């Protein structure tokens, strides 16, 4: 009886510790497949109200400024480099036709994130600026477990930058 109990405990531990799901770029659900416009959050880290607010803002950015921003929230990408993953995802989905696109990737259990920019986007939003947005705006919310608020305020900052771009 004790051996069976210990076996069950070990099984549960192994499933919870080693049973994480790691998605590849090809496996991440496209936002349009998740019944949302620009947010892919297959495990539901963002609450529904916040997701609607973020989608509304991203839709406005797309309509008003012709930039496409995708927000992707995943549990884990198996310790892969977040910026490489976000860039590959943006290319795979053809966000902003590869030019006027931005992917904001948040990886919860890996405690990692990245903002990947397309060819035109990177001219206006430098790597230093994306790092600043992460460190000064998004991460302080994340430290308090407020993922939805951190992402929302990060998107607000991206919109502010995009709104001042003159071609």
| pTM for the whole structure | 0.84
Domains and CATH numbers, the chain: 22-163 (3.10.310.50)
What value does the mean pLDDT take over residues 65-73? Answer: 93
d(CA 76, CA 93): 19
Count Cα atoms within 13 angstroms, Cβ side, for 66: 6
- The pLDDT tens digits of the residues spanning 108-155 come to 988 899 999 988 888 889 999 999 999 999 999 999 999 999 999 999
* DSSP designation for 138: I
């Amino acid at each position: 009886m004790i051996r069976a109990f210990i076996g069950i405990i070990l099984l549960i531990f192994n499933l919870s510790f080693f049973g994480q799901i790691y998605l590849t770029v090809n496996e991440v659900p496209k936002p349009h497949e998740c019944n949302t416009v620009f947010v892919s959050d297959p495990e539901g880290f963002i609450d529904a109200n916040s997701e609607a607010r973020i989608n509304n803002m991203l839709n406005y950015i797309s309509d008003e400024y012709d930039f496409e921003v995708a927000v992707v929230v995943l549990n884990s990408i198996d310790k892969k480099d977040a910026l490489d993953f976000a860039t590959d995802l943006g290319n795979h989905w053809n966000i902003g036709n590869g030019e006027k696109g931005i992917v904001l990737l948040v990886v919860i259990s890996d405690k990692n994130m990245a903002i990947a920019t397309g060819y035109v986007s990177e001219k206006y939003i430098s790597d230093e600026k994306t790092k600043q947005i992460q460190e000064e705006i998004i991460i302080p919310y994340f430290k308090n477990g407020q993922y939805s608020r951190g992402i929302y305020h990060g998107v607000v900052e991206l919109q502010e930058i995009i709104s001042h771009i003159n071609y």
